Amino acid sequence: MTQTAQSDDQQDPIVIVGTGLAGYTVARELRKLDAETSVLIVSRDDGRFYSKPALSNALATRTAPHDLARFDAQAMAQQLNARVWTHRQVERIVAHEHAIVVDGQRLRYRALVLATGADPRRVPVDGDGAADVLSINDLGDYSRFRERLAACRSVALLGAGLIGCEFANDLLAANYAVTLIDPAPVPLARLLPPEAGEAFASALAAAGVDMRLGRGVQSIVRRDEGYRLTLSDDSTLDADLVVSAIGLAPRTSLASAAGLQIEGGIATDAWCRTSAPDVYALGDCAAIEGRVQPYVLPIMHAARALAQTLSGTLTRVAFPVMPIVVKTPAVPAVVVTPDGQQGRWSVEAGTHDSAHAVRAICADDATQRMSGFALLGAAIAEKAALLKAMSTGG
Ligand SMILES: Cc1cc2nc3c(=O)[nH]c(=O)nc-3n(C[C@H](O)[C@H](O)[C@H](O)COP(=O)(O)OP(=O)(O)OC[C@H]3O[C@@H](n4cnc5c(N)ncnc54)[C@H](O)[C@@H]3O)c2cc1C
C-alpha cells in the first residue's frame, strides 16, 4: 500500500463518504481526539443515524421504522461538530489532486475516508415477479418492507444466512407464515459446521418456519395479490411478499473508477490505507488485509484505529476475537469463525439438557488450539468462558 502523503493544504477538510455505522463512528472517534479539524461527511441517503442490526428484530421489539433512527443528520452534525451533506452522491475521486467530485463540484480533501457500505446481491430468477423482490440493507429499504408487510400474511425469504434467518424468526414472532429457501443444505452455512447447521434448521422448523433447503428459486410470477415461486426441484409455493437476503457485495465502483486496488472489497492494509495516498476505507465496503468483515465489532475496532491515524498517530487495526451473535430467539447462536475457515470441528449436540443446544469447537490443525466455536440454544451460556479461553490461547 502507498505510504501516507500529506495534502498541500491542512485547511482542507477530512472528508468521510457515508453516514452508516462506519462513517459516523470514525467521525465520533476522531472528535474524541481532535475537536478542531474540519470534517465533512457526505451521504447519498438522508444521514439519519440508526442501528442497522435492529432492522432484523424490530417486529419482535414492536419498533416502527421511524423510531429506529436515533438522530437526524442535523443532530449528528451538531454532535460531531461536522458538516453533514445529505442526498449528495460522491461521483468521482481525483486521487492525484486530493479531490472528490460531488454534484459536478470539485472539492479538495486533506484525507478521504470511504465508508460506502455494500449493495445487496440479486438472485437471477425468471418471472414477472422477480423485479418486485425486496432487499433490506438500510432504513429506507426497511420502511418499504414494513409498508408492504402491512397487507401480507405470508413471506418467502431467499437466503438462509444470518440476515435471512434473523428476518425469518422476527416475522414468525409477528405471526407471519414464513418460508426460508436456500440452495445450501443447511442454514448459516458460512458460519456453522454442518451438524450445528442441521440442529439450527430443526429448531427454526420446530418454531414454525417452513424450511426449503437444498433448493434454489427458478421463477417468481405474480399471482392474485402475491407471488408463486417455483423452486429448482419443481416444487412451488405461494407467498404475499418475497424478500431476498442472499448476501452483500461491497460498494467498490467509486474506488475502482479512481484506480484504487480492489480485492473483494476496497483493499487496505492493516492501517485502513488504500492504494491511494490519504485515502482510507472501512466498513462493509472494505477488505482490510484481504478480509471483508461486514459486522459491527470489526467496524468499531477499525474506526477507533483509523481515528488515531487521522489525528496524527499512525495506528494499526488490531482485531480481537470477535463473536457474531445471531438474533434468533427460537435458537440463539454465537459464533467465532476460524480464520480462513481452517481446522477440525468437534460437535456435541443436546448439551445443557436442552433439545437444540449445540456446542461446537474448532481446533487448529497444526497447533490443536481452539480457533473458533459455535454455540446454539442453551449452550450460549458458555460464550464468555470460550471467548476467554480463545483470547488466552486455550
Ligand atoms: C438486517 C441486518 C442486520 C444486521 N445485524 C447485525 C448484527 O446483529 N450484528 C452485526 O455485527 N452486524 C449486523 N449487520 C451488519 C452491520 O449492520 C453492517 O456491517 C454495518 O451496519 C455496515 O455499516 P457501513 O457504515 O459499512 O455501511 P452502510 O450502513 O451501508 O453505510 C453506507 C453509507 O455510504 C453511503 N454511500 C454509498 N455510496 C455513496 C456515494 N457514492 N456518495 C455518497 N454516499 C454514499 C450510503 O448512503 C450510506 O450512508 C446487519 C446488517 C443487516 C442488513
| Protein residue with least CA distance to atom 44, ligand 1 | 43
Mean pLDDT of the chain: 94
- The verdict on 237 and 293 lying in the same domain is no
296 lines ligand 1 (CB under 6 A): yes
pLDDT band at 392 (very low <50, low <70, confident <90, very high): confident
Is 268 domain-assigned?
Answer: yes
- The verdict on 301 and 269 lying in the same domain is yes
| Helix runs in 81-229, H state only | 139-149, 162-173, 194-207
Query: Pairing mode, if any, of strands 324-326 and 286-288?
Result: unpaired
Residue listed under C-alpha cell 472501512: 282
For residue 135, give the 3-state DSSP assignment: strand
Give the span between the Cα atoms of 112 and 16, in whole angstroms.
6
Q: What sign for the dihedral angle of Cα 111, 116, 117, 119? A: negative
- The verdict on 239 and 383 lying in the same domain is no
Cβ proximity of 204 and 330 under 8 Å = yes
- Does residue 71 register a pLDDT over 70? yes
Span 322-339, mean pLDDT? 94
Give the span between the Cα atoms of 290 and 211, in whole angstroms.
34
- The verdict on 35 and 99 lying in the same domain is yes
Is 179 domain-assigned?
Answer: yes
pLDDT tens digits, one per residue of 132-190: 999 999 999 999 999 999 999 999 999 999 999 999 999 999 999 999 999 999 999 99
pLDDT band at 347 (very low <50, low <70, confident <90, very high): very high
Whichever domain contains 363, its CATH number is 3.30.390.120
pLDDT band at 5 (very low <50, low <70, confident <90, very high): very low
- Does residue 4 register a pLDDT over 50? no
- The verdict on 128 and 240 lying in the same domain is yes
Nearest to 198 by CA among 64, 355, 320, 61: 355
- The verdict on 55 and 195 lying in the same domain is no
17 lines ligand 1 (CB under 6 A): yes
Span 95-123, mean pLDDT? 96
Backbone φ, ψ for residue 3 (5° rounding): -65, 150
pLDDT tens digits, one per residue of 185-202: 999 999 999 999 999 999
pLDDT tens digits, one per residue of 205-227: 999 999 999 999 999 999 988 99
Domain boundaries, position 161: 122-244
What is the number of the ligand 1 atom nearest to the C-alpha of 21? 25
User: Which grid coordinates belong to 372?
Assistant: 473458533
- The verdict on 190 and 52 lying in the same domain is no
Strand ranges in 61-133 using DSSP code E only, listed in sequence order:
69-71, 83-85, 90-94, 99-102, 105-108, 111-114, 118-120
Can you give the pLDDT at residue 391? Answer: 83
19 lines ligand 1 (CB under 6 A): yes
| Protein residue with least CA distance to atom 38, ligand 1 | 116
Span 289-303, mean pLDDT? 97
Domain count of the fold of the chain: 3
Whichever domain contains 30, its CATH number is 3.50.50.60
- The verdict on 152 and 178 lying in the same domain is yes
374 lines ligand 1 (CB under 6 A): no
pLDDT tens digits, one per residue of 40-67: 999 999 999 999 999 999 999 999 999 9
42 lines ligand 1 (CB under 6 A): yes
